[in-house]
Structure 1
Amino acid sequence: MKQKVGFIGLGVMGQSMAKHILLAGYPLSVYTRTKQKAEELVNLGAVWIDSISELSKECEIIITMIGYPKDVEEVYLGEEGILSSAKPGTYVIDMTTSQPSLAKRIYEQANSKEIHSLDAPVSGGDIGAREARLAIMVGGEKHAFDTCLPLLEKMGQNIVYQGEAGSGQHTKMCNQIAIASGMIGVSEAISYAKKSGLEPANVLKSITTGAAGSWSLSNLAPRMLAEDFEPGFFIKHFIKDMGIAIDESNAMDLYTPGLELAYKLYEQLAEAGYKDKGTQALVKLWDEK
Structure 2
Amino acid sequence: MSTLENTVIGFIGTGVMGKSMAGHLLAAGYQVIVYSRTKEKAGDLLEKGAYWGGTPQEVASKANVIFTMVGYPSDVEEIYLGENGLVNHAKAGSYIIDMTTSAPSLAVKIFKAAKEKDIHAIDAPVSGGDVGAKEAKLSIMVGGEEEDVEAITPLLSLMGSNIVYQGKAGAGQHTKMCNQIAIASNMIGVCEAIVYAKKAGLNPESVLKSITTGAAGSWSLSNLAPRMLHGNFEPGFYIKHFIKDMKIALDEAEHMKMEVPGLTLAKKLYDQLSEMGEENSGTQALYKYWKS
Instruction: Give me the TM-score of the superposition, normalised by structure 1.
Output: 0.99
| Whole-Å separation in 1 of the counterparts to 2:54 and 2:187 | 40
| Runs of 5+ consecutive residues of structure 2 not aligned to the other structure | none
**1:110 matched to 2:98:** no
**Any idea what SS the aligned residue of 1:258 has?**
helix
Deviation per residue, 1:148-197 (Å, 9 max, x gap): 00000000000000000000000000000000000000000000000000
Q: Which amino acid aligns with 1:148?
A: I
What's 1:51 paired with?
55
What's 1:149 paired with?
153
**Any idea what SS the aligned residue of 2:166 has?**
strand
What's 2:235 paired with?
231
Instruction: Give me the TM-score of the superposition, normalised by structure 2.
Output: 0.98
Q: Please, which of 280, 285, 288 is the counterpart of residue 281 of structure 1?
A: 285
Deviation per residue, 1:197-256 (Å, 9 max, x gap): 000000000000000000000000000000100000000000000000000000000110
What's 2:249 paired with?
245
Q: Which amino acid aligns with 2:256?
A: M
Q: Which amino acid aligns with 1:129?
A: A
| Whole-Å separation in 1 of the counterparts to 2:143 and 2:252 | 17
**Any idea what SS the aligned residue of 2:93 has?**
coil
Q: Which amino acid aligns with 2:243?
A: I
Q: Which amino acid aligns with 2:249?
A: A
**1:19 matched to 2:23:** yes
Q: Please, which of 203, 211, 215 is the counterpart of residue 215 of structure 2?
A: 211
- Please report how far the alpha carbon of residue 274 of structure 1 lies from its aligned counterpart in structure 2 after TM superposition: 0.3
Q: Which amino acid aligns with 1:54?
A: E
**Any idea what SS the aligned residue of 2:11 has?**
strand
What's 2:184 paired with?
180
Q: Which amino acid aligns with 2:199?
A: K
What's 2:71 paired with?
67
- Once superposed, what is the RMSD of the aligned Cα atoms? 0.5
| Whole-Å separation in 1 of the counterparts to 2:212 and 2:42 | 37
Q: Please, which of 90, 96, 107 is the counterpart of residue 94 of structure 2?
A: 90
